[in-house]
Amino acid sequence: MNRSVPSQQSASIDKPGLLQALRRLVPDEALLDQREDLRPYECDGLSAYRELPLAVVLPNTLEQVQAVLRLCHGVGVPVVARGAGTGLSGGALPHREGVVLSLAKFSAILDIDADKRLARVQPGVRNLAISQAAQPHGLYYAPDPSSQIACTIGGNVAENSGGVHCLKYGLTVHNIQQLKIITIEGELLTLGGSGLDSPGYDLLALMTGSEGMLGVIAEVTVKLLPIPERAQVILAAFDDIVAAGRAVGDIIAAGIIPAGLEMMDRLAIQAAEDFVHAGYPREAAAILLCEVDGTNEEVSAHILQVREILHAAGASEVRTARDAAERETFWKGRKAAFPAVGRLSPDYYCMDGTIPRKHLPRVLQTIEELSQQYGLAVANVFHAGDGNLHPLILYDANKPGELERTEAFGARILELCVQAGGTITGEHGVGVEKINQMCSQFASGELAQFHAVKAAFDEQGLLNPGKAVPTLHRCAELGAMHVHHGQLPFAELDRF
């Protein structure tokens, strides 16, 4: 099944001329233009969308990257940056008349400064590789997306990725100090600095989460943290998902910010249990995994408190991992939850909305109702502590109409998140996937402002065109009814 790709038209390109020019800039083996070589790049982690680019370039020096960008800028060819291609929103989906710029060869850790607790790395370095390199110094890099063995730090910055530990330690934006970027014009710029702040506008923040639309991330300096003296995890089972949701708020109300606070519903528990045998209570309606870390004394105090809170919140069972091995086991089920759910059905579709936590019970209830209405099962595995939902919709792409039904269901879930005062994406980005839902999240004024920001960096719109921010026209055509200050949306555009 193949989804159509939004607005990919651009002036027709002289392909042989472009390839010839690229060949002068990068070594032969760093330029791919044969169909079979382009295949591996046709999609990212959201494989329902596929497209072949004109070419893929894999430069290995910043000068080459600069030269490629200058060339593309000069001839008006779109450029799509790509890390590991694990993105879940089609952000790295190629442009059919453009070039994919792979940063995969930039995989060196340039410097670990244990005193300053900083690591300076190239954009193609894998997330986990940073923590591994920092470990001998007693340090680690906190943001830990579940894809951390594969995804690159450049991709993490481009998506502002989070992980299980971002409730306490923040997202990518909170854990980087400096970026080197290359503009579409091929200019190398440094954002941020060697101190904790830098003069002028916070371009470091603006670049983070910009989905490859504002510049190419060429180097990243990340902050490292000391490995906590102790970390301990508690598993609590609930007969009722509403009570589990309430327990999350109770822990936070008690003044405790756990390192991680994750929830799984029955379908997810059973799938994980069948897959990795983590010892989860199969009959529970929901489980919570609550990890606390810090100094020895702090962890001891918090573990006691959290146990009491969970009991008081009506947990049917509360288990504390006795040692590191058991802690691993508790987490194993959570970490394997996506592939575990993947075993239940031929395909699954991972959603990524965030809501204010207090609406968890209502939103989960509505998702359940929608699930019955659409005739598609849903497993919920999510970052409960920060209200970031990951409903996994189970479907079979080979059954006619099922993908369309899944997408319609997914869109309803995202709109539900917006209505609950939340957002259509907590960490996976908009990409091509959620471009239509951007029309429900934002009114025309905000979208126009985003386009103006884009133009400030990339006037011709060559970096990752068609992603992340929909055109006003597209939203008007969709007729999304975003009622803003009581005005009709897109009143300035013609209706037909």
Strand arrangement, sheet containing 188-192: 109-113, 118-121, 216-223, 176-182, 188-192
Q: Output the six-digit token pair for 8.
A: 């990919």
- Under a CB-based contact definition with an 8 Å cutoff, are residues 25 and 64 in contact? yes
SS3 assignment, position 229: coil
Q: What are phi and psi of 490, to 5 degrees?
A: 55, 40
By CB under 6 A, tell whether 265 contacts ligand FAD: no
By CB under 6 A, tell whether 209 contacts ligand FAD: no
How many residues make contact with another protein (CB under 8 A)? 93
Residues between 436 and 465 with contacts to ligand FAD, criterion CB under 6 A? 464
Candidate residues 60, 64, 122, 156; the one interacting with ligand FAD per rule CB under 6 A: 156
The 34-63 contact track toward ligand FAD, x by CB under 6 A, reads ----------xx------------------
By CB under 8 A, tell whether 442 contacts another protein: yes
**Beta-bridge partner residues of 263:** 288, 382
CB of 458 to ligand FAD, least distance (A): 12
The 196-215 contact track toward another protein, x by CB under 8 A, reads xxxxxxxx-xx-xxx--xx-
Residue 26's identity, in one-letter code, is V
By CB under 6 A, tell whether 151 contacts ligand FAD: yes
Residue number with CB closer to ligand FAD (146 or 371): 146
Q: Output the six-digit token pair for 336.
A: 């394997």
DSSP 433: T
- Under a CB-based contact definition with an 8 Å cutoff, are residues 327 and 321 in contact? yes
Residues between 157 and 176 with contacts to another protein, criterion CB under 8 A? 159-160, 162, 166-167, 170-171, 173-174
CB of 88 to ligand FAD, least distance (A): 5
Tell me which of another protein, ligand FAD, none is bound by residue 147, counting a contact when its beta carbon lies within the kind-specific cut-off of 5 to 8 angstroms.
Answer: ligand FAD
Candidate residues 161, 208, 221, 441; the one interacting with ligand FAD per rule CB under 6 A: 161
By CB under 8 A, tell whether 360 contacts another protein: no
Q: Which long-range contacts (CB under 8 A, 24 or more apart) does 102-109 make?
A: 102/41, 102/56, 102/57, 102/58, 103/65, 103/152, 103/154, 103/216, 103/217, 104/58, 104/152, 105/30, 105/58, 105/59, 105/60, 106/60, 106/154, 106/218, 109/133
Residue 107's identity, in one-letter code, is S
By CB under 8 A, tell whether 193 contacts another protein: yes
- Under a CB-based contact definition with an 8 Å cutoff, are residues 466 and 7 in contact? yes
Residue number with CB closer to another protein (265 or 427): 427
Residues between 106 and 135 with contacts to another protein, criterion CB under 8 A? 114-117
Q: Output the six-digit token pair for 176.
A: 């980087």
- Under a CB-based contact definition with an 8 Å cutoff, are residues 19 and 46 in contact? no
Residues between 215 and 234 with contacts to ligand FAD, criterion CB under 6 A? 216-217
By CB under 6 A, tell whether 192 contacts ligand FAD: no
By CB under 6 A, tell whether 98 contacts ligand FAD: no
CB of 70 to ligand FAD, least distance (A): 16
Q: Choose the stretch contacting ligand FAD; rule: CB under 6 A; options: 63-71, 148-156, 323-331, 417-425.
A: 148-156
Candidate residues 63, 283, 297, 492; the one interacting with another protein per rule CB under 8 A: 297
By CB under 6 A, tell whether 291 contacts ligand FAD: no
Tell me which of ligand FAD, another protein, none is bound by residue 470, counting a contact when its beta carbon lies within the kind-specific cut-off of 5 to 8 angstroms.
Answer: none
Residue number with CB closer to ligand FAD (94 or 281): 94
Q: In terms of DSSP bridges, do strands 79-82 and 99-102 run parallel, antiparallel, or are they unpaired? A: parallel
Q: Which residues contact 145 (CB under 8 A, 6 or more apart)?
A: 127, 151, 156, 161, 162, 163, 427
Residue number with CB closer to ligand FAD (162 or 281): 162
Ordered DSSP codes for 132-166: HHHGGGTEE-----TTTTT-BHHHHHHHT---TTH
Residues between 319 and 358 with contacts to ligand FAD, criterion CB under 6 A? 338
CA distance 344 to 342: 5
By CB under 6 A, tell whether 211 contacts ligand FAD: yes
For the chain, the distance separating the N- and C-terminal CA atoms, rounded to the nearest angstrom, is 31
CA distance 437 to 415: 7
Residues between 78 and 107 with contacts to another protein, criterion CB under 8 A? none
- CA 299 to chain centroid, in Å, comes to 30
- Under a CB-based contact definition with an 8 Å cutoff, are residues 86 and 44 in contact? yes
Residue number with CB closer to ligand FAD (281 or 342): 342
Tell me which of another protein, ligand FAD, none is bound by residue 82, counting a contact when its beta carbon lies within the kind-specific cut-off of 5 to 8 angstroms.
Answer: ligand FAD
Candidate residues 6, 48, 120, 228; the one interacting with another protein per rule CB under 8 A: 228
By CB under 6 A, tell whether 92 contacts ligand FAD: yes
Site for ligand FAD, rule CB under 6 A: 44-45, 80-88, 91-92, 103, 123, 145-147, 151-152, 154-156, 158-159, 161-163, 211-212, 216-217, 338, 427-428, 464
